[in-house]
Amino acid sequence: MHGNWRDGNDFELLPEASRFLPAMFDAIEQARTSILIELYLMESGRLAAALIDALTRAAGRGVTVLLLLDGYGAMGLSRHDRERLQAGVALRFFNPLGLHSLARNLTRDHRKLVVIDGRLAFTGGFGVVDEFLDAWYEVAVRIQGPVVADWVHLFCRLWDSPLTRGDGAVDLVRGLSTATRVENGHRGMRGRVVWGRGYRYQTIRHSLHGRIAASRQRAWICTPYFAPTLGLCLRLARAARRGVDVRLLLPGKRHDHPGVRYAGQRFYGRLLKAGVHIHEFQPTFIHAKFSLVDDWVSLGSCNFDHWSLHWNLEANQEVDDRRFAEEVAMLFERHFAVSHEIEPQAWAKRPLLQRFREWLFGTLDGVLTRLK
């Protein structure tokens, strides 16, 4: 599912937490009417404490503050922190774990969103856990313009969902103001919001597939959990064979779920043979999720693994603008420069233990895919 393409937006790329966290906290401090936050991961720690302080201050000056967390992803949030949030913050949880179907428990809200006063939004792959302060590399985008209203609408629908529980009143999302006009100073960028909900609604995947199939110049993808569908692999290989510059930016050995890395590595051989370039990021664990195909960019919460595509609620910001695309291309190039490129000949000689890991975790990935 997706919103309409809208002109007259301004998108600012914010690579690294040192840029997007101060921008978000400054926006929260400047909020006058409403703050909407939707997150998958929120765990007690330095970052959570700072956010709770900022949100309770905003509530104290009369701002409507709505915080929507995933029922599983927020299990690391302490009772003390939850009680602190009660000082004026409306708190709801999507799909808390319960004694119902396995499929329902596996369905998680993986989206990441901050909206200020209905006029300014942030999305990306961020969460409120201390790893984002220094251990994980992440990217976000700052959004202004008519497309912000689509993000507000997306948030409101889930806040009012039958799967969402909590003390925050459902009707708080009714009548929220949005600034839908094109403001002076915006660079006139074209964008739309796309979202997915498990295996039934996979607009994010279909959008990427369509772009790769029609690509002429480049198709670059950064994802931390690369366990792709066969369809994505085939499209990447076909694009590379017809001369498109196809590159993957993936995590190296620093990974929070090494099994997912091994599962994805079973596709390396066929991709390398087709001419796809695979780069494994070395400085830290790269948790960012963004794609660049010609002059089109998609950035947000969605990983291209079976888990995201078959179970999670996801949302990305798409941008169709040459200027923004070149900013993203420069970011990719900087990351390629500090990555290890997998050479086809060396990969063909990888040891038996590596091949066994690929087989084992690839098999487990296949089992998870068939659970739906």
Question: 72 and 150 share a domain?
Answer: yes
Encode the chain (372 residues) as per-residue pLDDT tens digits: 678 999 999 999 999 999 999 999 999 999 999 999 999 999 999 999 999 999 999 999 999 999 999 999 999 999 999 999 988 999 999 998 877 666 677 789 999 999 999 999 999 999 999 999 989 999 999 999 999 999 999 999 999 998 898 888 888 888 787 766 665 555 789 999 999 876 555 788 899 999 999 999 999 999 999 988 888 999 999 999 999 999 999 999 999 999 999 999 999 999 999 999 999 999 999 999 999 999 999 999 998 776 666 678 999 999 999 999 999 999 999 999 999 999 999 999 999 999 999 999 989 887 766 655
Helix or strand holding residue 79 (H, E): helix 79-85
Question: 245 and 165 share a domain?
Answer: no
Query: Which two structure tokens, joined as six digits, stand for 263?
Result: 């599962």
Question: 173 and 76 share a domain?
Answer: yes
Question: 147 and 249 share a domain?
Answer: no
Residue 1, domain member (yes or no): no
Residue partners of 347: CB distance under 8 A and separation at least 6: 268, 269, 272
User: Within the chain, how many helices (H) and strands (E) appear?
Assistant: 14, 19
CATH number at residue 330: 3.30.870.10
C-alpha closest to that of 10 among 116, 196, 148:
148
117 and 91 Cβ atoms separated by less than 8 Å: no
Tokens 């692999």 sit on residue: 233
Half-sphere exposure of 147 (CA within 13 A, CB side): 30
Select from 179, 194, 209 the last residue of a domain.
Answer: 194
Question: 243 and 102 share a domain?
Answer: no
Identify the pLDDT of residue 358: 94
Task: State which residues form the domain around 107.
Answer: 6-194
Identify the pLDDT of residue 180: 65
Identify the pLDDT of residue 1: 64
Q: How many angstroms from the chain centroid is the CA of residue 217?
A: 25
What is the number of structural domains in the chain?
2
C-alpha closest to that of 59 among 80, 24, 87:
87
Residue 58, domain member (yes or no): yes
List active site positions. Answer: 110, 112, 117, 287, 289, 294
Question: 282 and 184 share a domain?
Answer: no
Residue 146, domain member (yes or no): yes
SS3 label, residue 2: strand
Residue partners of 21: CB distance under 8 A and separation at least 6: 47, 126, 132, 133
Question: 29 and 102 share a domain?
Answer: yes
Distance, CA of 214 to CA of 208 (rounded, Å) = 10
Amino acid present at 153: H
Amino acid present at 230: L
